[in-house]
Amino acid sequence: MVQEYRLLIGGEWTDSSTGETFDDLNPATLENLAVLQAGGREDVDRAVEAAKKGFKTWSETPAPKRAEVLFRAARILQERKEDLAVLMTQEMGKVLAETRGDVQEAIDITYYAAGEGRRMFGETTTSELKDKFCMTVLRPLGVVGLIAPWNFPIAIPAWKIMPALAAGNAIIFKPASDTPVLSIKLVEILAEAGLPPGVINLVTGSGGTVGKAIVQHPDIRGISFTGSLETGKWIMGECSKAMKRVSLELGGKNPVIVMDDADLDLALEGVLWGAFGTTGQRCTATSRVILHEKIRDEFTARLLAKTKILRVGDGLLPETDVGPVINKAQLEKIQRYVKIGEEEGATLLIGGKTIDPELSGLPGYFFEPTVFTDVKPDMRIAQEEIFGPVLSIITVSSFEEAIEVANNTQYGLSSAIYTENMVNAFKAIEKIEAGITYVNAPTIGAEVHLPFGGIKGTGNGFREAGTDAIREFTEVKAVYIDYSRKLQKAQIDTD
């Protein structure tokens, strides 16, 4: 029996108003894992009404008390880490070591956000007038809409949910339709940890219906969205019409620069992990490797040798290095980009094909780890996000050219440089246009106590995690307390 899941509205698990459902497939085996409710606009309306009630109680609960719920949730997540990781590999496809990491990231951010319950610092400052006290306090936004992608099925929802809760907001949460079960597990854990009814409401269903209804709902005060640039642009447009807070975490086209003085063994490991970890389906995945011409041939030969021995398969098997891609549409998109690369004149060094289910015995959505060389910085495969196991090699003849190529993209999420030259390392930190720069480490590997996000087409100035996490979900209020017992006029009473 395939398990059926419902929507969570006002603390009750309920059927959707549409009466429709959708399936949740394992991308490695194509087995149906679960049946989910295809929610509609009416469900979002109901969820918002419940959240408004939830907000009243939750925002009035002292922040350290709110944090206690999160501490309990973190401990439950820890206890269930292995079960959740196995389920995630089944639902999303990435290998077990990585799904364990995904759950660990959720644990880390939950503890981190819980700690904010006893911080959430404002500022105190001086006044220009006598007998007057000035400070700032943080206030929750109200009911917020959280929309998540499928590539980090529990970590990304937790990055949004935990700080939003710590700050006292109530939530309408729409998980990605490819990975809803992990999100439901997270919400169940929060309920078990004692989160009052209505504080988090979960509506599954398509982006075009449920996502849209959340974005457009007049009583939702803020949207936190992680997903593609295209969807992000639309959401930003809608939110600007309604003067609604919106924070966007979008795509990437992340470069690794390997200089001629780099430790090539280290760089090779980093590029392989960055490009083919999570089957290239990370917003921070390495999709361009920018090689100094002096090491190009040696690095390329060694990269090829290592790529050749990567084992593609079901992520539950210990021998698997690279799991499936998420769905058929994604598989087809990757195949299209390979064709585009060839037509543009890039040289396909290895891979480039969908793995034949008949020949391989792999029934799911598998694609060969793929490397292109002779890629020019303006080619589409060097510009557009492919979101699959496809790496483009671009050759440069100087550090300055490497930086220029690295920055030649509409995105600005992650970046890396491998060099033993301290000057070049610091110059890269200064010059690369990205929210994250790694030195002698791959483009993937963010830690939750640092801000995460990007510039240019990757985001709109907000950051998730780190000290910025609370800022995403709060308004700052300036407070003046006059204890002079007389009318004092700022800027006028200047003596």
Q: Is 472 in the site for ligand NAP (CB under 6 A)?
A: no
| The one segment of 32-40, 169-177, 343-351, 397-405 that binds ligand NAP by CB under 6 A | 169-177
The residue among 395 and 414 lying less far from ligand NAP, judged by its C-beta, is 414
Q: Is 22 in the site for ligand NAP (CB under 6 A)?
A: no
From the candidates 98, 105, 116, 249, give the one annotated as an active-site residue. Answer: 249
Q: Is 110 in the site for ligand NAP (CB under 6 A)?
A: no
Q: Is 58 in the site for ligand NAP (CB under 6 A)?
A: no
Among 272, 51, 333, 34, smallest CA distance to 169 is for: 51
Q: Among residue numbers 214 through 273, which ones bind ligand NAP (CB under 6 A)?
A: 215, 226-228, 231, 234-235, 249-252
Residues 175/180/181/183 CA torsion (nearest 10 deg): -10
Q: Among residue numbers 403 through 422, which ones bind ligand NAP (CB under 6 A)?
A: 413
| The one segment of 25-33, 200-208, 260-268, 335-343 that binds ligand NAP by CB under 6 A | 200-208
CB of 232 to ligand NAP, least distance (A): 7
| The one segment of 70-78, 192-200, 208-216, 436-444 that binds ligand NAP by CB under 6 A | 208-216
Binding mask of the shown chain, residues 281 to 320, with x at each position contacting ligand NAP by CB under 6 A: --x-------------------------------------
CB of 236 to ligand NAP, least distance (A): 11
| The one segment of 31-39, 110-118, 205-213, 308-316 that binds ligand NAP by CB under 6 A | 205-213
Q: Tokens for 382?
A: 């060097």
Q: Is 36 in the site for ligand NAP (CB under 6 A)?
A: no
List 160, 212, 244, 253, residue binding ligand NAP (CB under 6 A): 212
Given a contact cutoff of 8 angstroms between Cβ atoms, the answer to whether 347 and 372 are in contact is: yes
- Annotated catalytic, 134? no
The residue among 99 and 419 lying less far from ligand NAP, judged by its C-beta, is 99
List 37, 151, 183, 370, residue binding ligand NAP (CB under 6 A): 151
Secondary structure (H, E, C), the chain: CCEECCEEECCEEECCCCCCEEEEECCCCCCEEEEEECCCHHHHHHHHHHHHHHHHHHHHCCHHHHHHHHHHHHHHHHHCHHHHHHHHHHHHCCCHHHHHHHHHHHHHHHHHHHHHCCCCCCCEECCCCCCEEEEEEEEECCEEEEECCCCCCCHHHHHHHHHHHHCCCEEEEECCCCCHHHHHHHHHHHHHCCCCCCCEEECCCCHHHHHHHHHHCCCCCEEEEECCHHHHHHHHHHHHHCCCEEEEECCCCEEEEECCCCCHHHHHHHHHHHHHHHHHCCCCCEEEEEEEHHHHHHHHHHHHHHHHCCCECCCCCCCCCECCCCCHHHHHHHHHHHHHHHHHCCEEEECCCECCHHHHCCCCCCECCEEEECCCCCCHHHHCCCCCCEEEEEEECCHHHHHHHHHCCCCCCCCEEECCCHHHHHHHHHHCCCCCCEECCCCCCCCCCCCECCCHHHECCCCECCCHHHHHCEEEEEEEEECCCCCCCCCCCCC
| The one segment of 70-78, 150-158, 314-322, 436-444 that binds ligand NAP by CB under 6 A | 150-158
Contacts of 489 (CB under 8 A, 6+ apart): none
The residue among 228 and 408 lying less far from ligand NAP, judged by its C-beta, is 228
CB of 261 to ligand NAP, least distance (A): 31
From the candidates 98, 105, 283, 472, give the one annotated as an active-site residue. Answer: 283
List 207, 255, 315, 352, residue binding ligand NAP (CB under 6 A): 207
Q: Is 147 in the site for ligand NAP (CB under 6 A)?
A: yes
CB of 248 to ligand NAP, least distance (A): 8
For residues 330 and 337, what is the distance between their CA atoms, to the nearest angstrom?
11
Q: Is 206 in the site for ligand NAP (CB under 6 A)?
A: yes
Q: Tokens for 301?
A: 């030969």
Among 187, 182, 184, 181, smallest CA distance to 165 is for: 187
| The one segment of 64-72, 109-117, 207-215, 372-380 that binds ligand NAP by CB under 6 A | 207-215
List 387, 418, 438, 473, residue binding ligand NAP (CB under 6 A): 387
The residue among 69 and 203 lying less far from ligand NAP, judged by its C-beta, is 203
For residues 326 and 364, what is the distance between their CA atoms, to the nearest angstrom?
9
List 5, 58, 111, 150, residue binding ligand NAP (CB under 6 A): 150
CB of 43 to ligand NAP, least distance (A): 14
CB of 256 to ligand NAP, least distance (A): 17
Q: Is 446 in the site for ligand NAP (CB under 6 A)?
A: no
Active-site residues, by number, are 249, 283
Contacting residues toward ligand NAP, per CB under 6 A: 147-151, 156, 174, 176-178, 206-208, 211-212, 215, 226-228, 231, 234-235, 249-252, 283, 385, 387, 413, 454, 458
